[in-house]
Amino acid sequence: MYGANRAETTTEFQGKQVFKGGEDSIVVYSINQSTGEPTPLQHTETQKIHPRTFHIDPSGRLLVAEHNLPVNVRDGDAVKTVPAGLSVFRVGDDGKLTFARKYDIDVATKTMFWMGMVPL
């Protein structure tokens, strides 16, 4: 089973709202077949901020997490923007994830609300 941890709280820095920090990850769980209790196996950082949705491709070999909007972050004494985008992971035979790459997506002033995958 997979779940998204998403942080988005901001604080003011140099007159701008910037990301305060927190965990932005996909969590991999195993499920106890007798009790149904989940046990976390892995927390994989998405390398972007606020993974709003994610989808596993029809083959079960790739998981893509969607990050819906750009976020300002502190970069030393400066402010930079982490763009919205997609983070791609390979799904191992054990269900654990390996980061493959990320794609920046310019959403301008919009929000990328949802994403999914379909077979070709």
**Number of domains, the chain:** 1
- Cβ(57)–Cβ(117) below 8 Å: yes
Q: What is the pLDDT of residues 7-58, one digit of tens each?
A: 989 999 999 999 999 999 999 999 999 999 999 999 999 999 999 999 999 8
Decide if 48 is inside a domain.
yes
Decide if 116 is inside a domain.
no
Does the global pTM surpass 0.95? no
Domain around 21: 2-105
Decide if 112 is inside a domain.
no
CA dist list (Å): 111 to 45, 67, 79: 21, 9, 21
**21 — alpha (psi -120 to 50), left (phi > 0) or beta?**
left
Decide if 24 is inside a domain.
yes
Find the mean pLDDT for residues 88-92. 98
**What is the reported pLDDT for 119?**
76
Decide if 114 is inside a domain.
no
By percentage, how much of the chain surpasses pLDDT 70?
100
Decide if 90 is inside a domain.
yes
Decide if 115 is inside a domain.
no
Decide if 80 is inside a domain.
yes
